[in-house]
Amino acid sequence: MVEKEVKSGRNVESTETLSETNNVMEIVITYDMTGKNNITVYRCHVGQTQKFTENHTKADGTFYLDAVNSLIYVYAQKFSTYAIGYTLSTPGHPGGGSTGGSSSDSRSSTYTVTINTAAGGVAKTSVTTTISGESVTATVTPDAGYTIKNLTVTKADGDKVTVTKNSDGTYAFTMSSASVTVTPVFAKTVLNPIDTGVAAMLQTKDHTKYISGYSNGTVAPDKNMTRGEAVQTFYNLLVNKDAAKAVSFPDVPVSSRFAKAVGTLATMGIINGYSSEKFDPGAPITREQFCAIAVRFATKMSVGDTAYTVFFSDVTAGSWSYDSVMTAASMGWINGYSSGAFDVKNKITRAQVMTIVNRMLGRLADQSFVDTASGIKTFSDLSKTHWAYYDICEAINTHDHTVSAFGAETWTGLQEMTVGSKPSAAVGAVADRV
């Protein structure tokens, strides 16, 4: 407790006991974590002991560790007694031994496990120091609105340590004969298309293909998408394609393969031209332009009023695309780069478009089915090592599917059909599941 005195001159008029503040205080503690595991902060307040929660919300009763800089960040409102608890590492010598005066068993050496802090959640390991060959478990806790995307373990020389994801959601790895760094990567949780309003305008129930490859057998995943192709992509997914086409552009004549798509989406107010005379369908579309189109399908979201939960170094408030980019990112549709930038003027690629559209629609490829089924579309320029391989498979293969209560998509069959048509009974392959 803290006493507050109210004075008039040198005289104390009143004394008030304060048990907490109106604002959350950030308390930064320099702390040597060497040899200490399961570090936790405790508070004893009015006879009650509370164990703090480790996360990045900065709310009262939370903390997080910055192992790299040997700091503990504690967030509290109450004037209380605080304590730091931990368990000691006591690695033993697992057998063997030195065979001569100048040699030793490398397993008797202790190595450090360091955790990189990351926006969107926290990770903690079962030990902070241990010996080579011992099993280490990493537990990851995303903040509200985030999900774990990846977790890597690397040695000082940059070599990666094999990581296994356990059935309970934790990760495990075997300690190497060198100190390692654990790096979690979090991503915004993608909002349900029903909640955003996308499902009212775009097809989400049937998983029809909405992009095709080229006649030369390629799909060109890293090719820049044009403005016309972007509009056609969304047109292929429209629930209602019967809107009266009251808007047209001289550079998109009736003979153009994009005429129906451009006319329909322009009439709906989804797209704009550079002027009433120019749409420029063959020009590459930029990342910010694509975001501006995409968020107009989120009819239940107020663009500009969304609580922005991500930030980019090159997206400035007041710029024409600021609200569109920030809304798309806050809904989990699009990410920036590791540099912290969004690169608004960069051209968007076909693979990036398919990834974003899948998130908008709530579509996520069944990787097991894709890996084992015959009949999956293949292209000469697409390999399984491509970063967007499964998102591309989701976009270019019409398939029957089911969705679990937890949102996991399971494919049950493939269909042969043209882009934009209605699906029929499933034909073709069913994956062998083992």
- What would the pLDDT profile of 323-359 be if each residue is shown by its tens digit? 999 999 888 899 888 788 899 999 999 999 999 999 9
Q: Is residue 52 scored above 70 in pLDDT?
A: yes
Range of the domain at 121: 108-188
Taking the CA of residue 358 as centre, how many other CA atoms within 13 Å lie in the half-sphere pointing to its CB?
Answer: 23
Residue 120's CATH number? 2.60.40
Q: Which residue has the higher pLDDT, 307 or 252?
A: 252
* Contacts within 8 Å (CB) and 24+ apart, 300-304: 300/195, 300/196, 300/197, 301/196, 301/197, 301/327, 301/331, 303/327
Among 97, 95, 133, 124, which residue's Cα sits nearest to residue 36?
124
Between vectors from CA 284 to CA 214 and to CA 289, what angle results, nearest 5°?
A: 120
Taking the CA of residue 318 as centre, how many other CA atoms within 13 Å lie in the half-sphere pointing to its CB?
Answer: 1
Q: Does some domain include residue 211? A: yes
Q: Is residue 235 scored above 50 in pLDDT?
A: yes
**Interatomic CA distance for residues 116 and 95, integer angstroms:** 32
Q: Is residue 170 scored above 60 in pLDDT?
A: yes
**Interatomic CA distance for residues 209 and 265, integer angstroms:** 19
Tokens of 167: 């059935």
Among 175, 172, 171, 174, which residue's Cα sits nearest to residue 140?
171
Q: Are residues 166 and 309 in the same domain?
A: no
Tokens of 422: 């209605």
Q: Which of 60, 88, 116 is the last residue of a domain?
A: 88
Q: Does some domain include residue 98? A: no
User: Which residue bears the tokens 């005195």?
Assistant: 5
Tokens of 42: 């405790």
Local confidence band at 434 (pLDDT 50, 70, 90 cut-offs): very low
How far CA 125 is from CA of 83, 173, 334, in Å, comes to: 21, 10, 30
DSSP-assigned letters across all residues of 400-431 = EEEE-TT--EEEEEEE---TTSPP-S-BS---
Residue pLDDT, tens place only, 25-38: 999 999 988 878 88
Q: In the predicted model, what is the mean pLDDT of the chain?
A: 84
**Interatomic CA distance for residues 423 and 89, integer angstroms:** 59
Q: Are residues 241 and 381 in the same domain?
A: yes
Q: Are residues 113 and 238 in the same domain?
A: no
pLDDT of residue 150: 82
Q: Does some domain include residue 423? A: no
User: Is 235 buried (19+), middle (13-18) or exposed (0-12) by CB count in 10 A?
Assistant: buried
pLDDT of residue 6: 53
Longest CA pairwise span in the chain (Å): 91
Q: Are residues 82 and 211 in the same domain?
A: no
Q: Are residues 75 and 118 in the same domain?
A: no
* Angle, helices 350-361/227-237, rounded to nearest 10 degrees: 30
Neighbouring-strand partners of residue 304? none
pLDDT of residue 34: 82
Between vectors from CA 285 to CA 120 and to CA 150, what angle results, nearest 5°?
A: 25
Q: Are residues 44 and 135 in the same domain?
A: no
Asked which of 126-130, 137-141, 145-149 is least confident by mean pLDDT, the reply is 145-149
Write the DSSP symbol of residue 4. Answer: E
* Angle, helices 287-294/350-361, rounded to nearest 10 degrees: 20
Q: Does some domain include residue 428? A: no
* pTM of the entire predicted model: 0.61
CB 316 within 8 A of CB 356: no
The total number of structural domains in the chain stands at: 3
Q: Are residues 23 and 54 in the same domain?
A: yes
Chain-centroid distance of CA 230 in Å reads 23
User: Is 298 buried (19+), middle (13-18) or exposed (0-12) by CB count in 10 A?
Assistant: buried
Q: Are residues 282 and 385 in the same domain?
A: yes
Q: Are residues 292 and 217 in the same domain?
A: yes
Q: Are residues 257 and 213 in the same domain?
A: yes
Q: Does some domain include residue 380? A: yes
Q: Does some domain include residue 93? A: no
Please measure the distance between the N-terminal and C-terminal CA atoms of the chain and give it in whole angstroms. Answer: 62
How far CA 42 is from CA of 49, 62, 75, 76, in Å, comes to: 7, 10, 12, 11
Among 141, 187, 197, 194, which residue's Cα sits nearest to residue 330?
187
φ, ψ of residue 17 to 5 degrees: the values are -90, 125
Q: Are residues 63 and 142 in the same domain?
A: no
Q: Are residues 76 and 197 in the same domain?
A: no
3-state secondary structure of 235: helix
**Interatomic CA distance for residues 287 and 344, integer angstroms:** 5
Q: Does some domain include residue 210? A: yes
Share of residues in the chain with pLDDT > 90 (%):
53
Q: Does some domain include residue 100? A: no
Q: Which residue has the higher pLDDT, 408 or 4?
A: 408
